[in-house]
Amino acid sequence: MRVSESDTLGAIGEVATLSRVLPRLTPAAAAELGPGDDCAVVAAPDGRFVVTSDMMVHGPDFRLAWSTPFDLGWKAAATNLSDVAAMGATPTALTVSIAAPRGLEVSVLEGIADGLAAACDALAPGCGVVGGDLSVSEVLTIAVTALGDLGGLSPVLRSGARVGDVVAVSGVLGEAGRGLAVLFAEGVDAYGMPDADAAASARERHPESVAAQLRPEPPIADGRLAALAGAHAMIDLSDGLAIDARRVAAASGIAIDLDSVALGADPLLALEGGEAHSLLATFAAGTALPGGFRAIGRVVAGAGLLLDGAPWQRPSGWDPYRGWDGARG
């Protein structure tokens, strides 16, 4: 369908665009002042807050032929909410900045706003968008900053794992990686280029895998539960279990030994499939694992990552400059 010039960002401008987008966003419960002024004002009852930022750029991070605008908004929120949860905090507010081509339809930004609101409502009730910015760019870019409340607890760091700890995960491993492989294999045209019709067909054939990639559902509430249960270390599994487990091992000065049986029917996919946005945590032996956490290994003396007691050397994980094959953790 041909888009009318009057439906583009360049035609109606920033003020009119915001008047259509802002009403679609869910207010943040912690916001004393939301969008519309030079800054938002967000309550910090703990006296501290955690903060994280993440960027999604068309091309390396998403393809408009594969993702709907709603998908983009959902994933932009989910990936940041998961980082907040990995610190043991409760997400309270997001700021969202978007740079987009002048010719982009305003409906795309409306769809992104709907996805942001829906993800906050479903994954972190009470969290919402409190501000942001719009700018022009040749490449659609979404940048999100998330705030979280520690609620009187210490943040759960990557550096706290101790020898003897149980290594546990909450969330699904490997499914998002499978979804990405499906899109690259089946969501393309005869020339290997991303194609919307092919992607829609792939989504129908592999709904769970593609949804895990395009619209992840990280276990946000389990981050807080892990902190309350005394988790020693925690990390969001955004770049792949293998590389992120190595990050915990390096920060803590220990080794992590994973159990291949506990990783499921496809341990390789569980280890190397990225963007799961599950939570990996370590707990003292004997701790009743909270929420959806399940044991997948243990912390041992040494360095790096082991699988069934043997060093895992594959260069597994995501590096934005080197892709999946070059990451070294």
Residues at the binding site are 38, 52-54, 61, 83, 132-133, 158, 236, 238-239, 275, 318
Query: Would you list which residues are annotated within the binding site for substrate?
Result: 61, 275, 318
The tokens for 143 are 């940048």
- Which residues does the annotation place in the binding site for ATP? 132-133, 158, 238
Whole-number Cα distances in Å, 199 to 179, 190, 214, 269, 305: 11, 13, 11, 21, 35
| Region of residue 13 (left: phi > 0; alpha: psi -120 to 50; beta: else) | left
SS3 string, 18-45, reads HHHHHHHCCCCCCEEECECECCCEECCC
* Residue 169: strand, helix, or coil: strand
Q: How far apart, in whole angstroms, are the C-alpha atoms of residue 256 and residue 43?
A: 38
Residues written for the chain: 329
Q: Which of 218, 258, 253, 217 is nearest to 232 (CA)?
A: 253
DSSP code of 159? G
Sign of the Cα pseudo-torsion (159, 227, 81, 66, in order): positive
CA-based nearest residue to 98, from 28, 17, 162, 19: 17
What is the rounded end-to-end Cα distance, in angstroms, of the chain?
A: 45
What does the block give as tokens for 109? Answer: 């930004």
**Residue 176 and residue 62 in contact, taking contact as beta carbons nearer than 8 Å:** no
Q: Which residues are annotated as a binding site for Mg(2+)?
A: 38, 52-54, 83, 133, 236, 239
Task: Say if CB 278 and CB 320 are below 8 A apart.
Answer: no
Interhelix angle 196-205/175-186, nearest 10 degrees:
140
